[in-house]
Amino acid sequence: MFLGALVDAGVPAALLEETIAALNIDARVEISRVNRASINATKVDVYSCGEKDLPREQYWEHRARPDPPTANEHHPVQLLEHNYAVQEAAPHEHQPQRTLNNIREIIAKATLSGFAKSTAIRIFEELGQAEAKIHNCSLDEVHFHEVGAIDALVDIVCASAGIESLHVDEIVCSPLNVGGGTVKCAHGTLPVPAPATLELLKGAPVYSSGIQAEFVTPTGAAIVKTLANRFAPFPEIKIDKIGYGAGSREFPDHANVLRLTIGEMQTSSLVTSETVSILEANIDDLNPQIFGYVLDRLFEEGALDAFAIPVQMKKSRPGMLLTVLCKQEDANKVSGVIFRETTTLGVRQREEKRHVLARKFITVATRWGTVRIKLGSMNGAVTNYAPEYEDCRRIATEHHVPLKTVMQEAIEKYLQLDGTGLSS
């Protein structure tokens, strides 16, 4: 659906074909025009290994299911077509499997831009990390089934190349309709959204329209998590192009399409204003060791910022002033965290307006892996930049490299960029 929306918005179909050819895999795409609830949209079908991927409801009829492993068995996790299902490795199957390192090698060897490569690898890493956490295995143990790997490669790499061709500065995503009901996979019947999808969408606004169908797959969640700079209502833009990408299924009262709107941010929106809630509490009898945990819980529940300042309180008691910034709609649950996790008996709340620079992420490649760089800009000029802490922390932990070294190299790679998102 994302590829269909890209093509419908003006990305040349030839770019998708050239991208697939560069990957040197057994795959192709077929592009057609269809109607979904009377909306004319572009549909992109992926053919892999000589056949078109089967719909989910036919997949397990087409493929024999292996016996599920016992609780104490430990097998690599396989990701199948569109990540519609995960199953354990079956010894009788001889189709090739690909690890994340195999995927990285395929992308690295392709004649693609540095931006497309690094972005695609980052999406695969997000997807693999989510699956590894869900199945309690290491990232290296996540295996991509031959068909699923090809399909995901087409979706993810073409999405990365397509979004680069649009030359947009920021991607804003609306809240995601995840659907409802259940989905069948090798592990049985699971609720929608699938566990990996839910893991990937931590921090993103989601909802369900009540339709019993899966509207966001793990692959789709990984793409939007990596590409979207922020989730917000429709921004103030001058609309230039609109694209509709069609899904395979028809629903009577729901247009099964993904809409992509491209436009130019208005001058008044280059520095945006928003109203936020400020929550404060004076605390004088809490073990100081607990404060770090409290801050972590606040950010997990949607705090935009949180900090504590030493203060002198009544009766000369030393204490801390806890201040939390959050969205207005998150104020109640953030207040709940403060009451549950601290010893305060009251929380003060006020509303304030804050001005925010336009923000976006770009990805740079270090010798240990990719790191996102957060950019803040005003009137089109970058005024601030910083490597994403969690990316650097993960790399430092996995490769036993000092965190400061990873951050320094990420900044150096950013400063070497030639203005197009590629290292010079």
d(CA 202, CA 284): 33
Number of neighbours of residue 67 by Cβ within 10 angstroms: 7
Residues 397 and 334 in one domain: no
pLDDT at residue 167, rounded to an integer = 87
Residues 176 and 295 in one domain: no
Residues 341 and 254 in one domain: no
Domain count, the chain: 3
Cβ proximity of 209 and 197 under 8 Å = no
340 pLDDT more than 90: yes
Here the CATH number for the domain that contains residue 281 is: 3.30.70.1380
Residues 280 and 398 in one domain: no
Record the pTM: 0.60
Is the residue at 353 inside a domain?
no
Is the residue at 422 inside a domain?
no
Expressed as residue numbers, the domain containing 153 is 1-266
Among 266, 291, 315, the domain boundary falls at 266
Residues 191 and 246 in one domain: yes
Is the residue at 80 inside a domain?
yes
Residues 57 and 194 in one domain: yes
pLDDT at residue 302, rounded to an integer = 86
> What's the mean pLDDT in 115-131?
91
72 pLDDT more than 50: no
Is the residue at 200 inside a domain?
yes
Is the residue at 352 inside a domain?
no
pLDDT per position as a tens digit, 280-320: 999 988 888 898 899 989 998 889 999 999 999 888 889 99
Cβ proximity of 185 and 84 under 8 Å = yes
Is the residue at 156 inside a domain?
yes
Residues 18 and 100 in one domain: yes
pLDDT per position as a tens digit, 182-207: 887 656 788 999 898 999 999 899 99
Among 318, 346, 374, the domain boundary falls at 346
20 pLDDT more than 80: yes
Closest by CA to 173, choosing from 226, 121, 124, 240, is: 226
Is the residue at 424 inside a domain?
no
Residues 363 and 341 in one domain: no
pLDDT at residue 396, rounded to an integer = 94
H or E element at residue 237: strand 237-246
Label each residue of 163-213 as H, E or C: HHHHCCCCCEECCEECECCEEEECCEEEECCCHHHHHHCCCCCEECCCCCC
pLDDT at residue 131, rounded to an integer = 86
Residues 299 and 370 in one domain: no
pLDDT per position as a tens digit, 248-266: 999 888 899 999 999 987 6
Residue 129 in tokens:
């990390």
> What's the mean pLDDT in 50-55?
51
Residue 152's pLDDT band (cuts 50, 70, 90): confident
Is the residue at 420 inside a domain?
no
Residues 286 and 206 in one domain: no
Residues 164 and 16 in one domain: yes
pLDDT per position as a tens digit, 342-357: 999 999 999 998 888 8
> What's the mean pLDDT in 391-410?
94
Here the CATH number for the domain that contains residue 393 is: 3.10.20.300
Range picked from 3-17, 65-79, 369-383 for highest mean pLDDT: 3-17
**pLDDT cut 70: percent of the chain above it:** 83
71 pLDDT more than 60: no
Among 239, 266, 293, the domain boundary falls at 266
125 pLDDT more than 70: yes
Residues 61 and 165 in one domain: yes
pLDDT at residue 238, rounded to an integer = 87
**pLDDT cut 90: percent of the chain above it:** 49
